[in-house]
């Protein structure tokens, strides 16, 4: 018997693609028609950036270290995929975070008292930060998608509200740590829309903190959880558990080793070329491959140009295992980030074995360093390790040689949403509307984090369902 259901191809088997496929196969409303879904992935495995190297008792992440448990969609999908008992919360130590500033590790203060006592900022900067309360809110916030001249960089926002020293010391390393990018280029509205909402809704950040604190206390008194705080979370088997479980739970085919090279539309639907193989026709296609890949085969010329213009930053991730007694520093926290003013090659170092209790054998520590210098991509592993260990020695005082190491090169690691990104997405939406039945989704567009991809999956699936319904429901 032939399958008369509409067919949907999902290009890219990263978390974004797998989550869209899962949502299409598991609609929330009973009775919603389910299309036949095929996931088409270029690599020989699913997961994209989510990949955990298991080496004896070491678990080293290739990409994301974890996600915050404040996004319900991620936990919901993880549990639905059978990972309820695998969810692993980070240790309490992970709340202590450090910056390498003026040649020294300094803890980021988390309370007003600690902020006043901290030597992270000069006295002038502390006064300027406190005066944020009196900085008027901008009136033209939230318009970046239609009026690009109102968009501002993360640095501009920080300097305007909290002063240049705050922007250089806190925001610069934070943006480097999250995107491998440059806070003087990244659009606040595109990368951190919540900040725009806070300023617009409350007139300033301190005012927002006070209002949100009040709201949390009210919710707690009413028996709630006290609001979304967000604890860094992963899985016992590492981040790879999430895509592996999602892929296992799909009813449709998951084709690996199928790099899409062309997309073609005709009266009977979409045909997808993977080198010499042609798949389809499909009633609809959701493309979740990174924008730079989609730029190579998207059928609309204007869309190709916009997709190709989305910047990606390189990252080299270096895992280093050492005997505990060979590291001078107590590593009592999450790790550290370095502002660009410090002129160090490492963007930051995560103290992985302090964040997670089961990532390295007893008596050893596991560090995960990141370098954003593109020239490191072409060095051999030995030279990368020599340079990384020299930096780690300067930072933590190494007394012995690494027991093991891992080097992961990401030529195009994470999309950088440069200022003007939202306006470019509006133009992209226009261009994509000329190719009905072809949808774009994933971390290149409206959120770079795992949580953002998981959250976007349902609205994307809903748009696909609407398209299928408009075409006539059950038609193939
Ligand atoms: C080093 C690093 C650290 C990170 N740390 C964090 C973190 O701590 N927390 C967090 O939330 N996020 C983090 N991220 C971001 C996170 O990895 C992304 O949010 C997430 O992986 C994006 O998923 P995606 O499916 O959109 O893209 P990807 O993971 O890139 O998946 C896209 C998939 O498309 C496939 N593909 C590409 N071209 C084609 C083609 N032509 N045909 C078919 N398939 C194709 C790729 O092989 C890939 O599998 C990090 C990223 C990196 C690189």
Number of domains in the chain: 3
Average pLDDT over residues 167-191: 94
To test the ligand 1 pocket, which listed residue (13, 14, 447) has its Cβ within 8 A of the most ligand atoms? 14
Atom 35 of ligand 1, residue of closest alpha carbon: 12
pLDDT score at 131: 96
The CATH number assigned to the domain holding 441 equals 3.50.50.60
Do 306 and 317 have their domain in common?
no
Instruction: Tell which of 401, 416, 431 closes a domain.
Output: 416
pLDDT band at 185 (very low <50, low <70, confident <90, very high): very high
Strand pairing category for 104-107 and 346-350:
unpaired
Average pLDDT over residues 450-456: 97
DSSP for 179-228, written as a single string: HSS-TTTBBHHHH-HHHHHHHHHHSSHHHHHHHHHHHHHHHHHTTS--S-
Q: Contact 123/389 with Cβ under 8 angstroms?
A: no
pLDDT score at 1: 59
Do 160 and 213 have their domain in common?
yes
Is the confidence at residue 223, as pLDDT, over 90?
no
Does 92 reside within a domain?
A: no
DSSP for 242-280, written as a single string: HHHHHHHT-SSEEE-S----EEEEETTEEEEEETTEEEE
Do 258 and 298 have their domain in common?
yes
Q: What are phi and psi of 142, to 5 degrees?
A: 85, 10
Query: Using a 6 Å cutoff on CB, does residue 243 contact ligand 1?
Result: no
Cβ atoms < 10 Å from Cβ of 249: 17
- Residues 6 or more apart whose CB falls under 8 angstroms from that of 123 comprise none
Average pLDDT over residues 274-301: 97
Mean of all residue pLDDT scores within the chain: 94
pLDDT score at 476: 39
Query: Using a 6 Å cutoff on CB, does residue 289 contact ligand 1?
Result: yes
* 259 CA: nearest ligand 1 atom: 42
Does 63 reside within a domain?
A: no
Helix (H, G, I), strand (E, B) or coil at 163: coil
List the domain range (segments joined by +) for residue 324: 312-416
Do 426 and 306 have their domain in common?
yes
The CATH number assigned to the domain holding 381 equals 3.90.660.20
Strand pairing category for 58-61 and 7-11:
unpaired
pLDDT score at 224: 58
Do 200 and 280 have their domain in common?
no
Query: Using a 6 Å cutoff on CB, does residue 369 contact ligand 1?
Result: no
Do 395 and 350 have their domain in common?
yes
Query: Using a 6 Å cutoff on CB, does residue 41 contact ligand 1?
Result: yes
Q: What are phi and psi of 84, to 5 degrees?
A: -50, -40
Measure the CA–CA gap between 147 and 95, rounded to whole angstroms. 38
Is the confidence at residue 220, as pLDDT, over 50?
yes
Do 316 and 411 have their domain in common?
yes
Measure the CA–CA gap between 421 and 187, rounded to whole angstroms. 7
Q: Which range, of 2-11, 135-144, 212-221, averages the lowest pLDDT?
A: 212-221
Do 366 and 426 have their domain in common?
no
pLDDT score at 228: 53
Q: What are phi and psi of 82, to 5 degrees?
A: 95, 15
Does 227 reside within a domain?
A: no
The CATH number assigned to the domain holding 134 equals 1.10.3110.10
Q: Which range, of 210-214, 359-363, 412-416, averages the lowest pLDDT?
A: 210-214
Does 187 reside within a domain?
A: yes
Cα three-residue angle 219-79-87, rounded to 5 degrees: 80
Instruction: Tell which of 371, 391, 416 closes a domain.
Output: 416
- Residues 6 or more apart whose CB falls under 8 angstroms from that of 160 comprise 135, 138, 152
Do 129 and 177 have their domain in common?
yes
Average pLDDT over residues 112-118: 91
DSSP for 56-73, written as a single string: TTEEEESS---EETT-HH
pLDDT score at 139: 84
Does 350 reside within a domain?
A: yes
* 413 CA: nearest ligand 1 atom: 53
pLDDT score at 4: 84
pLDDT in tens, 38-71: 999 999 999 999 999 999 999 999 999 999 999 9
Average pLDDT over residues 226-232: 71
If you compute the radius of gyration of the chain from its CA atoms, what whole number of angstroms results?
A: 23
pLDDT above 70 covers a percentage of the chain that reads 97
pLDDT in tens, 311-356: 999 999 999 999 999 999 999 999 999 999 998 989 999 999 999 9
pLDDT band at 141 (very low <50, low <70, confident <90, very high): confident
Average pLDDT over residues 430-440: 96
Does 58 reside within a domain?
A: no
Cα three-residue angle 135-141-142, rounded to 5 degrees: 150
Average pLDDT over residues 449-453: 97
Measure the CA–CA gap between 244 and 150, rounded to whole angstroms. 42
Do 392 and 432 have their domain in common?
no
Q: Report residue 343 as tokens.
A: 């002129």
Does 263 reside within a domain?
A: yes
Is the confidence at residue 3, as pLDDT, over 80?
no
Query: Using a 6 Å cutoff on CB, does residue 450 contact ligand 1?
Result: yes
Query: DSSP class of residue 47?
Result: B
pLDDT score at 423: 97
SS (H, E, C) 307-357: HHCCEEEEEEEEEEEEEHHHECCCCCCCEEECCHHHCCCEEEEECHHHHCC
pLDDT score at 37: 98
pLDDT band at 118 (very low <50, low <70, confident <90, very high): very high
Measure the CA–CA gap between 253 and 187, rounded to whole angstroms. 38
Do 282 and 426 have their domain in common?
yes
Do 351 and 422 have their domain in common?
no
To test the ligand 1 pocket, which listed residue (11, 12, 53) has its Cβ within 8 A of the most ligand atoms? 12
Atom 51 of ligand 1, residue of closest alpha carbon: 63
Instruction: Tell which of 416, 437, 455 closes a domain.
Output: 416
pLDDT in tens, 257-271: 999 999 999 999 999
Does 234 reside within a domain?
A: no
Longest dimension (CA), the chain: 76
Is the confidence at residue 75, as pLDDT, over 80?
yes
User: Which strands, in side-by-side order, build the sheet including 232-235?
Assistant: 67-68, 232-235, 87-89
Cβ atoms < 10 Å from Cβ of 159: 20
Query: Using a 6 Å cutoff on CB, does residue 40 contact ligand 1?
Result: yes
Measure the CA–CA gap between 4 and 35, rounded to whole angstroms. 9
Query: Using a 6 Å cutoff on CB, does residue 449 contact ligand 1?
Result: yes
């Amino acid at each position: 018997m032939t399958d008369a259901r509409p067919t949907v191809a999902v290009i890219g088997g990263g978390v974004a693609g797998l989550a869209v496929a899962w949502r299409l196969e598991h609609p929330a409303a009973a009775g919603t028609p389910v299309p036949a879904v095929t996931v088409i992935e270029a690599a020989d495995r699913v997961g994209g950036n989510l990949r955990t190297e298991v080496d004896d008792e070491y678990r080293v992440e290739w990409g994301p270290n974890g996600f915050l448990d404040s996004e319900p969609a991620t936990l919901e999908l993880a549990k639905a995929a059978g990972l309820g008992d695998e969810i692993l919360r980070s240790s309490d130590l992970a709340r202590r975070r450090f910056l390498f500033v003026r040649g020294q590790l300094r803890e980021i203060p988390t309370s007003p008292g600690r902020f006043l006592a901290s030597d992270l900022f000069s006295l002038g900067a502390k006064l300027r930060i406190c005066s944020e309360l009196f900085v008027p809110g901008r009136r033209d916030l939230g318009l970046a998608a239609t009026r690009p001249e109102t968009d501002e960089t993360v640095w501009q926002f920080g300097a305007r509200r909290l002063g240049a020293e705050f922007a250089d010391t806190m925001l610069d390393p934070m943006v480097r740590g999250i995107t491998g990018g440059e806070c003087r280029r990244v659009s606040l509205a595109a990368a951190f829309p919540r900040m725009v909402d806070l300023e617009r809704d409350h007139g300033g950040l301190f005012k927002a903190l006070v209002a949100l604190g009040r709201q949390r206390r009210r919710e707690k008194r009413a028996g709630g959880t006290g609001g979304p705080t967000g604890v860094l979370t992963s899985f016992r088997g590492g981040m790879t558990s999430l895509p592996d479980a999602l892929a296992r739970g799909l009813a449709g085919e998951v084709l690996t080793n199928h790099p899409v090279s062309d997309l073609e539309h005709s009266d009977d639907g979409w045909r997808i070329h993977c080198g010499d193989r042609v798949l389809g026709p499909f009633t609809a296609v959701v493309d979740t491959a990174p924008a730079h890949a989609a730029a190579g085969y998207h059928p609309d010329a204007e869309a190709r140009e916009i997709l190709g213009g989305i910047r990606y930053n390189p990252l080299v991730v270096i895992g280093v295992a050492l005997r505990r007694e060979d590291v001078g520093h107590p590593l009592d926290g999450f790790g550290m980030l370095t502002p660009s003013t410090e002129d160090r090659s490492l963007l930051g170092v995560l103290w992985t074995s302090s964040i997670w209790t089961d990532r390295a054998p007893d008596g050893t520590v596991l560090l995960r360093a990141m370098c954003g210098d593109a020239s490191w991509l072409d060095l051999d592993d030995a030279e990368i390790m020599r340079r990384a260990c020299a930096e780690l020695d300067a930072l933590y005082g190494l007394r012995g040689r690494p027991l093991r190491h891992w080097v992961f090169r990401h030529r195009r690691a994470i999309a950088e949403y440069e200022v003007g990104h939202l306006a470019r997405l509006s133009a992209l939406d226009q261009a994509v509307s000329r190719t009905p039945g072809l949808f774009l989704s994933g971390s290149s567009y409206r959120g770079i984090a795992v949580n953002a991809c998981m959250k976007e999956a349902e609205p994307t699936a809903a748009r696909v369902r609407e398209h299928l319904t408009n075409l006539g429901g059950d038609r193939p």
